[in-house]
């Protein structure tokens, strides 16, 4: 069943930038983003994205430009995602586990003009962008530890965030290119999956319906946002329906358990390997997981024995199996609880 937050009549005409505006108008004071010490309501998150978009436009980012992000999860990553959408710029998220040659290939192949880098990935970003690429400028993004300083002379996310918001004219529509997400096996160079705003938004609608994502949810996003599973199956739909997103760049079992308890998260996605690691953690039985009611897994086969153990130790949690491919943004099939 489609929740009332989703405006089906206008899905055909909306862009990714529109859905945050709508959620901010509906629930301005509700918490949208939590990351480390940063907490934004929907009104604050919407305004932050407008200011960042204005700052990006001032530095020359325009409609159609490829803008790459090489970073662990953070509030800044989420803000850039929607700021770029409002400009009509194209998001190119890059796996931070790649080496400089591999990341450089993606930058060059995508034709990225700009690269945002996380605090621990500055040197990798410099090396990758110095290869055969069109990258003109690097932008520093904070992580969960917002006290970490930026290299001298590098433009920072905070500087963009401090920009006074102005109306930004952008020729962006539902069929405009929204993102290029790179994917490959082990025997070929990565291929870029090109996805429009409309394609991604319809993916959000599918995830909302099939995954029972609603405005009252508190989702923990611990898997990397560079991958469209966490970015487009969970974060995007959460923003669409006005749910609260808790973001972390540290997907360790103990950190995940601590955040699930601290924030009363009721929804969490992870591959089977992380679910297994949670079950094996000495802190599992010490953690209050009474609010957790929705669990999702994918990316690998879940052993039946693990499903049975989850059923015994988390009897209140409904479990969904999501399967997909990057080219379709990415959800393809769902096994419901």
Q: Which two tokens stand for residue 189?
A: 């160079």
Strand partners of residue 41: 31
Residue in the structure block whose two tokens are 């983003």: 33
Residue 60 has a CB neighbour count (10 Å cut-off) of 11
Interatomic CA distance for residues 92 and 98, integer angstroms: 14
* Residue pair 80/212 in contact by the 8 Å Cβ criterion: no
Confidence at residue 1, expressed as pLDDT on a 0 to 100 scale: 63
Give me the pLDDT at residue 8, please.
63
pLDDT value for 230: 98
- Number of helical H runs and strand E runs in the chain: 12, 15
For residue 117, give every residue at least 6 positions away whose Cβ sits within 8 Å of its Cβ, in sequence order, or none: 70, 71, 124, 125, 138, 139, 140, 141
Which residues, given as ranges, of the chain have pLDDT below 70? 1-2, 4-5, 7-12, 185
Write a three-state SS string for 57-96.
Answer: HHCCCCCCCEEEEECCCCHHHHHHHHHHHHHCCEEEECCC
Q: Tell me: the pLDDT tens digits for 128-139? A: 999 999 999 999
CB atoms within 10 A of CB 111: 17
Residue 146: predicted pLDDT: 73
The per-residue pLDDT for range 302-319, each reduced to its tens digit, is 999 999 999 999 999 999
Give the per-residue pLDDT at 239.
98
All domains of the chain in start order, with CATH: 42-197 (3.40.50.980), 199-335 (3.40.50.980)
* pLDDT for residue 7: 65
DSSP string, 124-138: HHHHHHTSS----EE
With a CB cutoff of 8 Å and minimum separation 6, the contacts of 185 are none
- Count Cα atoms within 13 angstroms, Cβ side, for 259: 25
pLDDT of residue 187: 77
Instruction: Give the span between the Cα atoms of 173 and 198, in whole angstroms.
Output: 8
pTM of the model: 0.95
């Amino acid at each position: 069943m489609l929740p009332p937050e989703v405006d089906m009549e206008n899905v055909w005409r909306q862009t990714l930038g529109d859905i945050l505006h709508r959620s901010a108008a509906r629930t301005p004071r509700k918490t949208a983003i939590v990351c480390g010490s940063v907490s934004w309501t929907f009104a604050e998150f919407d305004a932050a994205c407008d200011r960042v978009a204005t700052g990006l436009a001032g530095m020359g980012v325009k409609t159609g430009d490829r803008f790459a992000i090489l970073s662990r999860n953070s509030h800044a990553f989420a803000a850039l995602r929607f700021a770029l959408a409002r400009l009509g710029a194209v998001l190119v998220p890059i796996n931070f586990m790649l080496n400089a040659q591999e990341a450089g290939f993606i930058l060059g192949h995508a034709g990225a003009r700009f690269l945002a880098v996380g605090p621990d990935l500055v040197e990798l970003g410099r090396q990758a962008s110095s290869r055969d690429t069109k990258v003109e400028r690097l932008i520093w993004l904070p992580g969960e530890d917002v006290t970490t300083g930026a290299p001298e002379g590098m433009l920072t996310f905070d500087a963009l965030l401090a920009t006074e918001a102005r109306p930004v004219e952008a020729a962006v529509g539902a069929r405009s290119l929204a993102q290029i997400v790179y994917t490959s096996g082990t025997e070929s160079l990565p291929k870029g999956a090109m996805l429009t705003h409309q394609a991604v938004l319809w993916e959000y609608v599918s995830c909302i319906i099939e995954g029972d994502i609603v405005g009252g949810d508190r989702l923990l996003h611990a898997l990397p946002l560079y991958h469209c599973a966490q970015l487009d199956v969970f974060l995007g739909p959460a923003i669409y329906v006005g749910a609260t997103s808790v973001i972390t760049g540290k997907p360790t079992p103990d950190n995940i358990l601590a955040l699930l308890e601290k924030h009363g998260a009721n929804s969490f996605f992870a591959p089977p390997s992380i679910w297994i690691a949670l079950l094996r953690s000495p802190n599992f039985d010490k953690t209050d997981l009474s609010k957790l009611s929705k669990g999702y897994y994918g990316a690998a086969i879940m052993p039946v024995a693990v499903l049975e153990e989850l059923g015994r130790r988390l009897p209140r949690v409904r479990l969904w199996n999501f399967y997909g491919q990057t080219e379709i943004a990415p959800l393809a099939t769902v096994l419901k609880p």
